[in-house]
Amino acid sequence: MSKRDYYEVLGVARNATEDELKKAYRRAAQKHHPDRNPGDASAEAAFKEAKEAYEVLSDGGKRRMYDQHGHRAFEHGMGGGNGGAGFGDVNDIFGDIFGDIFGGGRQRGPRRGADLRYVIELDLEEAVFGVEKRIDVPTLVACRPCDGSGAEDGKAERCKTCQGHGQVRMQRGIFAVQQACPSCGGRGQTIAKPCKTCHGNGRVQEDKVLQVKIPAGVDNGDRIRLSGEGEAGPPGGPPGDLYVEVSVREHPIFQRDGNDLYCEVPVRFSQAALGADIVVPTLDGEALIKVPLETQTGKQFRLRGKGVKSVRSHSHGDLLCRVVVETPVNLTARQRDLLKEFEATFEGEHGARHSPRSSGFLDGVKAFWDRMTS
């Protein structure tokens, strides 16, 4: 079976920098490492493929040979030699990458449980004023029969493979990698009598019910951290955290931009022409705006302090109301007659003074056609 292109394996361009290669391999190693995908043969194969690609492309000499000859460069000893990165440099790179996976290249003891993310949907009013919500989070919790130890009798023995360190050092040519012990999974201990409920894992799947207090003023993308409410750690390990991410539903009246709120206020053209007092909604009641005579569509009124109180300070945003002049519908015969009579008053040159935008538009059209026909 032919091998995939090393650049394709890591998902980088052929001119990728050393830093880009390292970041790409870090992502692949974290995603496909066997410790994170127990029993998944495809993940193990992907991890090995990424490791092989990085070993070649991170070495300047090997990369040049690969760019010239492809995979044939390393057949029949063609890629031998001691060029490229030194032993210390390679260990530093792998120590950094595997440190992210195991919590530090030389860390001992049980690993921490995984952090979780939960998206909670809120109405705009709930986000603005704050609310308490119940959420059901599917997660791994400590097994109750064995109290999270994984052992039926609560007893564990020191792992004979790693001597209780939880990690072993693997040497392959010039590469030396410290990784979780395959016998104990990095715990440093083995269990003679696994718990019948969790089968020695120390954790079971369960829906955890939590009450979450959402502070006033949160917005889309804001996160609330609940310490220790993530996945339970492996036996002896601390739990991870739960991050509750806010998603605010679309509101039928208001749109939010930061701490300001926006809304459109429809008015009749007679109100816009003659002026009127208009009642507009706010999140905590109503307010009155005075529409002056001869108001045009798009005129905006600012109601200070009627927006959102910031979740990070004591400042309030504003409510901005945009006037939209509405064309009347379902007219009676009398109303149509009045409008015809009203429209007749605009006939003649003097009508232009009552419609500045229309006259300006017509002047622009005339100038346009003059340029086109000249």
Q: Is the pLDDT of residue 20 over 70?
A: yes
pLDDT-above-70 percentage for the chain: 82
Q: Is the pLDDT of residue 82 over 50?
A: no
* Separation CA 299–CA 323 (nearest Å): 5
Which tokens hold the place of 157? 């023995």
pLDDT attached to residue 211? 95
* Separation CA 75–CA 64 (nearest Å): 15
Q: Is the pLDDT of residue 276 over 90?
A: yes
pLDDT attached to residue 267? 94
* Separation CA 10–CA 4 (nearest Å): 10
Which tokens hold the place of 315? 């400042």
Coil, helix or strand for 31?
helix
- Confidence label for 150 from pLDDT (cuts 50, 70 and 90): confident
Domains of the chain: 6-102 (1.10.287.110), 116-248 (2.10.230.10), 265-329 (2.60.260.20), 332-374 (no CATH)
List pLDDT tens digits, range 188-239: 788 888 888 988 888 899 999 999 999 999 999 999 999 999 999 887 789 9
Residue numbering of the annotated binding site for Zn(2+):
143, 146, 159, 162, 181, 184, 195, 198
Nearest CA-CA partner of 7 in 63, 46, 48: 63
pLDDT attached to residue 253? 95
Strand 300-303's sheet: what is its strand order? 255-257, 260-268, 319-326, 300-303
More confident residue, 298 or 39: 298
List pLDDT tens digits, range 242-257: 999 999 999 999 999 9
Work out the number of other CB atoms within 10 angstroms of the CB of residue 373. 6
* Mean pLDDT, residues 156-184: 76
- Average pLDDT over the chain, rounded to an integer: 82
List pLDDT tens digits, range 161-173: 888 777 887 766 5
* Mean pLDDT, residues 254-275: 94
* Separation CA 123–CA 355 (nearest Å): 42
* Mean pLDDT, residues 43-67: 87
pLDDT attached to residue 357? 65
* Mean pLDDT, residues 131-135: 96
* Separation CA 105–CA 94 (nearest Å): 9
Residue numbering of the annotated binding site:
143, 146, 159, 162, 181, 184, 195, 198
pLDDT attached to residue 75? 64
Enter the DSSP assignment of 40. Answer: -
